[in-house]
Amino acid sequence: MREVAILGAEMTKFGIYDKTNVELFSEAGLGAIEKSNIEPDKIEALFFGNCMGDFEEGQLHMASFAHSAIGLKKSAPALRFESACATATVAIRNAALLVGAGVYDIVLAGGSERANAMGTPLATRTFAMASHALYETPLGITFPGVFGMATHMYSEKYNIPLDELKRHMAEVAVKNHFHGVNNPKAHLRKEITVEKVLSGMMVADPLQLLDCCPFSDGSAAVVIADAKTAKDLIKKPVYIAGMGQAASGPLYYQKDITRVKSREISIKKAYKEAGITPSDIDVCELHDCFTIAEIFALEGFGFYEFGKGYDAATKGETRFGGKVVVNPSGGLKSKGHPIGATGAAQVTEIAEQLREESGPRQVEGAKIGLVDTLGGDFGTVCNIILRR
Amino acid sequence: MREVAILGAEMTKFGIYDKTNVELFSEAGLGAIEKSNIEPDKIEALFFGNCMGDFEEGQLHMASFAHSAIGLKKSAPALRFESACATATVAIRNAALLVGAGVYDIVLAGGSERANAMGTPLATRTFAMASHALYETPLGITFPGVFGMATHMYSEKYNIPLDELKRHMAEVAVKNHFHGVNNPKAHLRKEITVEKVLSGMMVADPLQLLDCCPFSDGSAAVVIADAKTAKDLIKKPVYIAGMGQAASGPLYYQKDITRVKSREISIKKAYKEAGITPSDIDVCELHDCFTIAEIFALEGFGFYEFGKGYDAATKGETRFGGKVVVNPSGGLKSKGHPIGATGAAQVTEIAEQLREESGPRQVEGAKIGLVDTLGGDFGTVCNIILRR
């Protein structure tokens, strides 16, 4: 396999839009293409992610329309992927595999979603379709509900009083909002306090409003090429060192929802491919859809032992200047979560960090970065490790 | 690239079911796995196609659930694809590319749809979401409408009186139903006559009811492996000789809707890879969503000059014993059209034909077969050429 690189990477500001997914993705895609110093007709395939364009705007078959809106050549295939919240990461991974294999030299990959457009109550119900429609949805299970249950189980399993755990979880939200203030693309660009988190509306016990990421509209895209092509085109390619993806089925298959089995398999493969250990990671964009989810991820990566990662944010270990900077973009919590675009935005952030283009939120000397995206209630995890 | 083969291939009967897509796909997938003489845990990835599980049954993220229902190992990634009617063909092509590249040795690919479940009027409107939601759907465009317009244009362009053209189109329907009678998996397993077609309810002028394929429920799946693995496992692998896929954007980008530009690009690539010309094809499963669509495809493949393929069925050239047998399975017209499963069923039919396992509908001595699937109103075409 050839070495594969990320060239240009671009995202729209995440937030609220009155534009279609194809319009949003065109903005991100053309931005990524421009930053790659190429014209759209050099792109050999489009790997496009979207979860629910049919519900959001009555649009299926979106890849073909994005293809034409961006002005790709007709011989370039356009594909749509959907793996719940991991959608764009899966699209990027599969594009990278085919570039590595020599099938394509230059591919555009990413995703788009108008998750905000339908409003939070309806979005909560409709995106719950990513859980099992026969055995979970009829019971009223939504994602806040799943992560609420998982929080209680974590508290019990590791004997951490719920009030104490909730303060540490609040520190995750505070940290990610603190990071997000320096990100002009963030949806919720404001600092918050532990007190504010703990006084928020109850969403799904014990998760309160600010434990939850927002539904956002937005797109992100990256250009992927083989290392040789990349070096000829731009000054600072960022290389894919390792990748992983695993599936673990519906929630009722999970033995322990305080651990995400698909992540443990995916990250192990990514570390092995990259030839690194957890301590080699300098910066990480992980799937903090809820504050507890960040804690699960830190433990899943091996940054902390299971049951020991809950106070990482409180201790400042995952903040700027900490041992590994987690979610410098603000994460899903502050930057926002347009479902099918999230993974591509995570890759964009890590690529910019490794190029030292992150301005006031630059993680000094970052050489190796990790992307982590979780789809559904633990059903899919996809990881990508990037290096300078 | 390594040579790639189709091992086991299986489809459910197409028709009407009170089962979920995951349940249907499990039936097809396990059948394909069993015919490959392997256990589910040998599958290294699942490439799953579905168009609208969210509308059909409130289910997203279906690949991960199909993965677990079939009992694949957790390290096997599961991905969902959507490219309108070309969904499963795109999934199979991308799986084959990665097997060819050596990323995976054995992959399960295919698709599932419950297109019948929502009833024809609603299905017609919802699947119209595969046309452009901003510039086409608001005008009331549905797929029968698009192909109705294209029929008028073909009649005008080539100066073929509409009544005459309609009789030739009816012969396409009669031929495909004649073939489908011998297919126990077909949804509409009955012979029809030209008179019956021409006396049918008007759907979208000049297309009448029997010019249109039915919305069906069903699934199909194939196991894909490198040639060496395939030869070790089964007696009669069928090899992928060439593939193509192209995108051509929304309807309003098409200069001439009597020709499908994306097909012309896709088939050219497939022929080139296979090192063959149109006359080498012995048997073909093509996208006859409407009778006129079969005529467009025959011309797009180069079987006939443009404007000359309209009377192929009337002359018996595409029927059993003709120069190329087109849609021996009954095609979409008789076998049925579960959108996201169709391409995998086409591959299944061609693989069985090349193995001489098609019983009473066996095309004698078939050595090279073509699969053709059209997505949306001309936005995507994917072709796969198989050989013994």
Q: Which helix (H) or strand (E) holds A82?
A: strand A78-82
Question: Using CA atoms, how far apart are residues B59 and B65, in angstroms rounded to an integer?
Answer: 10
Enter the tokens of residue A212.
């939850």
- The confidence score (pLDDT) of residue B386 equals 98
Identity of the residue in B52, B55, B81 whose CB atom sits nearest the CB atom of A80: B81
pLDDT digits (tens, 9 = 90+) for B253-267: 999 999 999 999 999
Look at residue A162 and tell me if it is in a domain: yes
Identity of the residue in B60, B261, B265 whose CB atom sits nearest the CB atom of A84: B60
Q: What number of helices (H) and strands (E) belong to chain B? A: 13, 12
- Is A85 catalytic? The answer is yes
Among chain B residues, the shortest Cα distance to A130 is held by B60
Q: Which of A224, A239, A254 is the last residue before a domain boundary?
A: A239
Q: Which of A239, A274, A298 is the last residue before a domain boundary?
A: A239
Contact A269 B75 (CB under 8 A): yes
Q: Which helix (H) or strand (E) holds B269?
A: helix B261-274
On the question of pLDDT at B226 being above 90, the answer is: yes
Look at residue A123 and tell me if it is in a domain: no
Enter the tokens of residue A108.
């555009």
Look at residue B130 and tell me if it is in a domain: no
β-strand partners of A83: A85
Strand B78-82 to B45-49 pairing: parallel
Side chain identity at residue B189, one-letter code: R
Question: Using CA atoms, how far apart are residues B218 and B123, in angstroms rounded to an integer?
Answer: 15
Identity of the residue in A60, A100, A376 whose CB atom sits nearest the CB atom of B61: A376
Contact A103 B90 (CB under 8 A): no
- The confidence score (pLDDT) of residue A103 equals 97
Residue A118's CB is within 10 A of a number of other CB atoms, namely 18
Report the gap between the CA of A178 and the closest CA in chain B (Å).
32
β-strand partners of B387: B239, B368
On the question of pLDDT at B137 being above 90, the answer is: no
On the question of pLDDT at B66 being above 90, the answer is: yes
- The confidence score (pLDDT) of residue B118 equals 85
Question: Using CA atoms, how far apart are residues B67 and B47, in angstroms rounded to an integer?
Answer: 10
- The confidence score (pLDDT) of residue B247 equals 96
3-state secondary structure of A228: helix
Question: Using CA atoms, how far apart are residues A146 and A151, in angstroms rounded to an integer?
Answer: 9
Classify the phi-psi angles of B262: left when phi > 0, otherwise alpha if psi is within -120 to 50, otherwise beta: alpha
Question: Using CA atoms, how far apart are residues B108 and B9, in angstroms rounded to an integer?
Answer: 10
Q: Output phi, psi for B118, to 5 deg.
A: -90, 0
On the question of pLDDT at B138 being above 90, the answer is: no
The answer to whether B131 faces chain A, any CB pair under 8 Å, is yes
* Residue from B230, B270, B224 nearest B91 by CA: B224
On the question of pLDDT at B117 being above 90, the answer is: no
3-state secondary structure of A83: strand
pLDDT along chain A (388 residues), means of 10: 97 97 98 98 98 95 97 96 98 98 98 93 91 90 95 98 98 98 98 98 98 98 98 98 96 93 97 98 98 98 98 98 96 98 98 98 97 96 98
Look at residue A20 and tell me if it is in a domain: yes
Asked if B302 and B271 sit in the same domain, the reply is yes
On the question of pLDDT at B160 being above 90, the answer is: yes
* Residue from B177, B180, B154 nearest B165 by CA: B154
Q: Which of A239, A274, A293 is the last residue before a domain boundary?
A: A239
Residue numbers of the domain that contains A376: 142-212+240-387
Q: Residues A85, A212, A289, A382: which is the catalytic one? A: A85
User: What are the residue ranges of helices labelled H in B77-133?
Assistant: 87-100, 120-127
Asked if B300 and B230 sit in the same domain, the reply is no
The answer to whether B130 faces chain A, any CB pair under 8 Å, is yes
**Tell me, what's the ipTM?**
0.97
Enter the tokens of residue A278.
């957890």
Non-local CB neighbours of B205 within 8 Å, separated by 6+ positions: B148, B152
Asked if B265 and B193 sit in the same domain, the reply is yes
Q: Which helix (H) or strand (E) holds B47?
A: strand B45-49
Asked if B112 and B164 sit in the same domain, the reply is no
Asked if B109 and B153 sit in the same domain, the reply is no
Non-local CB neighbours of A14 within 8 Å, separated by 6+ positions: A185, A186, A187, A216, A217, A218, A335, A336, A337, A338, A341, A345
Question: Using CA atoms, how far apart are residues A349 and A362, in angstroms rounded to an integer?
Answer: 10
Asked if B325 and B180 sit in the same domain, the reply is yes
Look at residue B201 and tell me if it is in a domain: yes
The answer to whether A71 faces chain B, any CB pair under 8 Å, is no
- The confidence score (pLDDT) of residue A118 equals 85
Burial of A288 (0-12, 13-18, 19+ CB in 10 A): buried
pLDDT digits (tens, 9 = 90+) for A87-123: 999 999 999 999 999 999 999 999 999 999 888 988 9
* Residue from B179, B253, B173 nearest B207 by CA: B173
Among chain B residues, the shortest Cα distance to A59 is held by B129
Question: Using CA atoms, how far apart are residues B133 and B147, in angstroms rounded to an integer?
Answer: 18
Higher pLDDT, B268 or B141: B268
Identify the CATH number of the domain in which residue B308 sits: 3.40.47.10
Asked if B19 and B158 sit in the same domain, the reply is no
β-strand partners of B217: B15, B114
Whether the Cβ atoms of residue B81 and residue B373 lie closer than 8 Å to each other:
no
Q: Is the dihedral of CA A186, A223, A386, A244 positive or negative?
A: positive
Asked if A200 and A322 sit in the same domain, the reply is yes
Quote the strand ranges of A147-251, DSSP E: 202-204, 207-208, 217-226, 238-247
* Residue from A102, A93, A337 nearest A229 by CA: A102
Look at residue A30 and tell me if it is in a domain: yes
Q: How many domains does chain B have?
A: 2
3-state secondary structure of A373: strand
Asked if B271 and B382 sit in the same domain, the reply is yes
Asked if B33 and B160 sit in the same domain, the reply is no
3-state secondary structure of B5: strand
pLDDT digits (tens, 9 = 90+) for B289-337: 999 999 999 999 999 999 999 999 999 999 999 999 999 999 999 999 9
Among chain A residues, the shortest Cα distance to B245 is held by A77
Non-local CB neighbours of A316 within 8 Å, separated by 6+ positions: A322
The answer to whether A135 faces chain B, any CB pair under 8 Å, is no
Asked if B192 and B250 sit in the same domain, the reply is yes
Look at residue A280 and tell me if it is in a domain: yes
Residue B49's CB is within 10 A of a number of other CB atoms, namely 33
Identity of the residue in A51, A61, A75 whose CB atom sits nearest the CB atom of B376: A61
Angle subtended at Cα A28 by Cα A340 and Cα B131, rounded to the nearest 5 degrees: 65
- The confidence score (pLDDT) of residue B129 equals 94
DSSP-assigned letter for residue A214: P
Question: Using CA atoms, how far apart are residues B314 and B297, in angstroms rounded to an integer?
Answer: 16
Look at residue B132 and tell me if it is in a domain: no
Asked if A252 and A178 sit in the same domain, the reply is yes
Q: Which helix (H) or strand (E) holds B82?
A: strand B78-82
- The confidence score (pLDDT) of residue B140 equals 87
Q: How far apart are the first and last CA of chain B?
A: 19
Q: Which pLDDT band holds residue B205 (cuts at 50, 70, 90)?
A: very high
- This prediction has a pTM of 0.98
Question: Using CA atoms, how far apart are residues A108 and A38, in angstroms rounded to an integer?
Answer: 12
Among chain A residues, the shortest Cα distance to B85 is held by A61
